[in-house]
Structure 1
């Protein structure tokens, strides 16, 4: 463990028979008994806080709209105060010698809890005073004399570990911390609030205005860090982010299902979670990867811009408005000057509105020259008049993104005019639809098209922005997809997470500077996490043999867990070998992920069924609620299992252009053991 973690003796006894026992009298350890009593009191206080929130009424609001708003806030408050019996309310304690107004003893936990006298029983881990729990050490005790960690079994407090921080003795390894990190898991991802490391804590507590980009090797906790940063920012900037919103963007629905319980466990229930596909309209029609790569290329930016403005034509006639017995004329050259002055200086939609207003203003000038005194109401009337509407529609027609993209992909001449040499003739032919739909209304769009439609929509009208955006597996996004996300945090900030070595798309990024550039973010701080806590060293070192081939610029990751015996290689992928490996994993505690090339899953599922091993197959929607999950290699990214069985690595490596990167992902999903079954020879980097 890092030097900031201490490992003195652990005091541990069996859990008490029930929460209502007289702990301080019956327990063999008075300190543990007192802490259990404090846990019981904290749970009672949390229940009282929730009951108080449930008793509040929205009727205090003056009107129906305010009542509904207040009801929503109360519902969120009640949900945030839910007690999870298997989740400890606090995991640490600080004995402080700081000269301030805070209590000398503070329990640190997942949320704030106070008694009826408003005395804090548990301090939220995000509060400034709690930072010492993660950062304090002998060199800088931060006003802390002693740090105490608690061990739990289920929801029962069973052990504690004291760490004096005022002496000169070096800090050692914390057994409770190690056991919590290595604890087998089943079901969705857990929070890591009890085990956050100092370098992770620095990222979590970064300022809201600072965009943070985290390059994280497998097992370094980058996803958890991003989620905890969301919780921290919501705690620190509650009012602002409640209005502006926080959105998490993951690679697929299976990943979102896996992380879904983390923020609610921390008391945060109002965070949107989606995928890039979901954010951009749900378009996902299959497409040739070569074509998708072209559509994701940043050269499309200028092509789309020219395609939009090509719809504005040069007016060949003026404007005539009749008002009473008078006629007011705007000459054709004046109309051309107005259009030229607006073209390209604003977004297409506002430009269209401005054109009507400019034409109306020119008519008002004509009226004033006749001695009339028109006001703003007259200008609005003229702007909405039929002659103005007709001229605007001829010169500056109303557009929707689908209409423009349909024309671009189905009309070779129009694509050539918008292209202007940006793409080669061969690329031009690839971009064109070979068989175009009848109209833009019947077109079926791909995921790459969705990013182009979003770009066009922003060229027509400005996209709304959110307060904070968290993007995981960002290395897999195309420049055009990154631009779509960047528009959504134009007035906010972002947390960008990923691993360049795990890039598996044709357009995978090779530089985080490029990612930040396409997001449109200046001054983003790139932080690298290379120290792993979850993946055993033996497994991580084995997978890292692929790095020179897939990401030669990255430093090899390191793991704090030796994991001797965690890796098993079996040169046999027979049905018998598979069922033996699964049976061995089932005999141990924890979740199991069987990862293989996508097209191999039906046969593997049939083999497991024949052997009597109940299982679930992971789908893009995340439906694999079972201890034993069959995982398509294309959905494994971001997931984690205690025991992983990878079948035929060569099939994974050869299934796609960046198959070795996909294999690297599959090999690094293991938390406890990795078993590799293969009949086909392994990729060369893994044969030593």
Structure 2
């Protein structure tokens, strides 16, 4: 076996050296071509192509490829080795097979979909389904042009068993830094199926913690740009993430895949930009504190909660009804007279508004009608008997046009929104029956906010929708594809609204209901999302395999879901074993000293990222102050920063969602901080599943019922010996 490995290593080293030499030769040739800076369009296009080639060759030089697949097409065609990389590299000789095949190419899908066995494999090519036999599947690790690792996960002609998970476990065991990385060398078959799914579909992905759903979505963007390059552009794609820090955390993945210019935003930023609003929203940290930190006084999670109601399709329909009612009462109930003796009948104005300009949105219709009235005035002015009279009429007409325009409704989203909630005078045609749809709690809290000129995040979908009904949307506001991460925290209203701004219902909607800690505004079931689309417009995928944490951590976290949430959305761990989860009571030693002792022991293992998770932001700040004063280099994550700094950190558990750390210390895992409520169980589940390698649960007094009361197969009590 050792001899076979040595032979394979030598073969791959020889091939790598040849590939590097060829890439260097091509790169040097393109670099020797002078850069064109003139104004000839044809030459500019050619120069853009050359620059793209320079960049792709330079990118592939350090790590040309990561996999090899030996494939023989049915029909007796010659078996050939296919090398798969992040960037495709062609041979310059006509007719020669590619030096490296782009991972997004149809034939490269075999590398991900083939999981072993003697049966033929197939992939879908532009010319149809291609079938054949896979003889070898090999994973290759190259770093800075040095061959580091060669692992065969399948060899049809070998005498050794396949080791399909060995390479994956090796990559998962690497320590974490401060950025999410691409998984192009370890994409699994179920992930590849999502990545290569058809474009004009609303994909809904339920992925357990650590299933790679965020990374899969980013790889899907890269695939769509490769596969549909004539129909989509990076500038017309957008990723919606929960906060700026998370956007920073995932920011390296797309550049690593050779993709740039994709928009990245939070829903709040996008909505404020559409509305041209610069009104400061209440500090999000205050909202989170209200829901997560006032444990005793926490509101019940019913549909009467403002965030749930304002995120509902019922509220969206109510807004549309109100705007339609406003449309019926738009044209002032009088004729227009620019001066005595001249009259434009209201019936004529109504015909313009309701018939001729009907295709336009409401605000545009008003603009068209007022412009038409102005043109009518100009025609009437030509009938003046003399210049003096014409001047007199023109002055009077200008004043009356302005006065008449003021009698129309004010087509501004915030004004109409306030009218809906009676913060301003409500039009008589808006019945009390219509407003009775709004729950009393929602009505009162929103009235109070609007009277104080306060807008909340939950008001933004409604305001953007009103803006859309009034103005439609411009072509530069339309997207070719939308990715929504942590979608369980989005509302159905938000999804339905975004669907108005994307072509062909082209969505990748991903999240985890078990991490639905924002249930006061998010969804409780994926049916709330899928029901927004026709059956042939949507597809549902479930990613149940977790690649992040060790088997011990996953089984421990699953226990929290089973006992505390009664959920069957459990993770299936990759067989990567590690230390058991530690349950450590504070005993007679202070909470601070216990946390310091735990931190010392984990830092001694030279993990790159160690995190302490507290229940509240206040506790995180207090602990950060204590540890910093004690000489620890640890930073506080409080939701205010736009960059994720990596390293060692302390943060409230509800801000940890989406992040991952080598080791995690959960402070205060007891009933004083986490009661037996389903929501608290989800919070602890989120905290536990942030850990890649080690999880320590520190507690005092009684622990919640969904945590194990004693040590077992996956958890032990006490400090390490």
Q: Please state which band the TM-score falls in when normalised by the shorter chain.
A: 0.7 to 0.9
Instruction: Please say if residues 342 and 355 of structure 1, whose CA atoms lie closer than 8 Å, have aligned partners that are also in contact.
Output: no
Taking the aligned partners of 2:332 and 2:425, their CA distance within structure 1 comes to 22
Q: 1:114 aligns with which of 80, 84, 90?
A: 90
Preserved contact between residue 546 and residue 664 of structure 1 (Cα < 8 Å):
yes
Deviation at residue 233 of structure 1 after TM alignment: 0.5
Q: In the alignment, which residue of structure 2 is the partner of 1:678?
A: 699
Deviation for aligned residue 1:679: 1.7
* Distance (whole Å) between structure 2 residues aligned to residue 647 and residue 96 of structure 1: 53
Is the 8 Å Cα contact of residues 141 and 165 (structure 1) preserved in structure 2? no
What is the distance in 2 between the residues matched to 1:10 and 1:631? Answer: 51
Q: Distance in 1 between matches of 2:638 and 2:78?
A: 50
Task: Give how far 1:496 is off.
Answer: 0.5
Report the counterpart of residue 439 of structure 2 in structure 1: 424
Equivalent in 451, 462, 467 of residue 472 of structure 2: 462
Contact 1:96 1:105 in 2 (8 A): yes
Deviation at 1:659, TM superposition (A): 3.4
Q: Establish whether residue 601 from structure 1 lines up as the match of residue 620 from structure 2.
A: yes
What TM-score do the two structures reach when normalised by structure 2? 0.78
**Residue 31 to residue 389, structure 1, CA distance change in 2 (3 Å):** farther
Instruction: Please report how far the alpha carbon of residue 458 of structure 1 lies from its aligned counterpart in structure 2 after TM superposition.
Output: 0.8
* 2:106 corresponding residue in structure 1: 128
Equivalent positions of 1:566-645 (< 5 A) are 566-572=580-586, 574-588=591-605, 589-597=607-615, 598-620=617-639, 621-645=641-665
Give 1:301's match in structure 2, choosing from 316, 319, 322: 316
Match status 1:451 vs 2:466: no
Tell me which of 31, 39, 45 is aligned to 1:51.
Answer: 31
- Separation in 2 of the partners of 1:28 and 1:131? 23
What residue is the counterpart of 1:178 in the other structure?
169
Distance between the aligned counterparts of 2:471 and 2:72, measured in 1?
57
Distance change >3 Å, CA 615–CA 10, structure 1 → 2: farther
Query: 1:204 aligned to 2:195?
Result: yes
Residue by residue over 1:371-396, the C-alpha shift from the partner in whole angstroms, topping out at 9 and shown as x without a partner, is xxxxxxxxxxx9xx969955872564
Unaligned 5+ segments in structure 2 are 123-131, 274-279, 292-304, 384-393, 710-721
Aligned counterpart in structure 1 of residue 121 of structure 2, from 120, 141, 155: 141
1:417-466 residue CA offsets vs partner (Å, 9 max, x unmatched): 474321134432222126724xxxxx443211222221111111223320
| Match of residue 92 from structure 1 | 67
2:199 match: secondary structure: coil
CA distance in 1, matches of 2:337, 2:2: 92
> For 2:282, which of 254, 265, 285 is the aligned residue?
285
TM-score relative to the length of structure 1: 0.81
Tell me, in whole angstroms, the C-alpha distance in 1 between the residues paired with 2:308 and 2:178.
35
**Residues 115/684 of structure 1: CA separation in 2 closer, same or farther (3 Å cut):** same
Q: CA deviation at 1:307?
A: 4.1
Q: CA deviation at 1:79?
A: 5.6
Aligned partner of 2:17 in structure 1 is 37
Residues 252-651 of structure 1: pairs in structure 2 closer than 5 A: 252-281=243-272, 284-286=281-283, 290-308=305-323, 309-310=325-326, 312-313=329-330, 315-319=332-336, 330-336=344-350, 339=353, 347-353=361-367, 355-356=369-370, 390=402, 393-394=405-406, 396-409=408-421, 411=423, 414=426, 417=431, 419-433=434-448, 436-437=451-452, 443-463=453-473, 464-505=477-518, 506-518=520-532, 523-548=537-562, 552=566, 554-572=568-586, 574-588=591-605, 589-597=607-615, 598-620=617-639, 621-650=641-670
Mean CA deviation greater in 601-610 or 127-136: 601-610
The change in CA–CA distance for 1:49 and 1:171 in structure 2 (over 3 A counts) is farther
Q: Distance in 2 between matches of 1:39 and 1:396?
A: 71
SS of residue paired to 1:44: helix
Give the direction of change, closer, same or farther, for the CA distance of 1:267–1:169 in structure 2 (3 Å limit).
same
Q: Assess if the C-alpha contact under 8 Å between 2:361 and 2:469 holds in 1.
A: yes
Instruction: Report the Cα offset of residue 359 of structure 1.
Output: 6.6
* 1-structure distance, mates of 2:56, 2:676: 44
Give the Å deviation of 1:186.
Answer: 1.1
User: Relative to 1, partners in 2 of residues 1:49 and 1:538: Cα closer, same or farther, differing over 3 Å?
Assistant: farther
Give the Cα–Cα distance (whole angstroms) in 1 for the partners of residues 30 and 651 of structure 2: 40
Q: Deviations over 1:123-155 (max 9, x none)?
A: 110011111111123323343321221134676
Report the 3-state secondary structure (helix = DSSP H, G, I; strand = E; otherwise coil) of the residue aligned with 1:445. Answer: coil
SS of equivalent to 1:59 = coil
Q: Is the 8 A contact 2:191 2:216 kept in 1?
A: yes
SS across alignment from 1:402: helix
Q: 1:29 to 1:129 in 2, by over 3 A?
A: closer
TM-aligned CA distance change 1:292 to 1:30, over 3 Å? closer
Gapped regions of structure 1 (runs ≥ 5): 1-7, 14-26, 371-381, 438-442
**Cα gap change, 1:264 to 1:611, in 2 (>3 Å):** same
CA shift, 1:551, in A, is 5.0
Q: Which residue of 1 aligns with 2:215?
A: 224
Q: Secondary structure at the match of 2:87?
A: coil
| 1:150 aligned residue (137, 140, 144) | 140
Does the CA-based 8 Å contact 1:356-1:392 persist in structure 2? no
Cα deviation code 1:566-598 (max 9, x no counterpart)? 411111272222122222222234422222222
- Give the corresponding residue for 1:83: 59
Shift of 1:513: 2.1
Provide the C-alpha distance between the structure 2 equivalents of 1:253 and 1:48, rounded to a whole number of angstroms. 39
In 2, Cα distance between equivalents of 1:629 and 1:276: 26
2:128 alignment counterpart: none
Instruction: Name the SS for the 1:686 alignment partner.
Output: coil
Contact 2:338 2:377 in 1 (8 A): yes
1:659 aligns to 2:680 (yes or no): yes
Give the whole-Å Cα distance in 2 for the aligned partners of 1:548 and 1:196: 29
Whether the 8 Å contact between 2:199 and 2:506 is mirrored in structure 1 is: yes
Q: Distance in 2 between matches of 1:532 and 1:681?
A: 30
Change (3 A) 1:507 1:488: same
Deviation of the 1:73 alpha carbon: 8.2
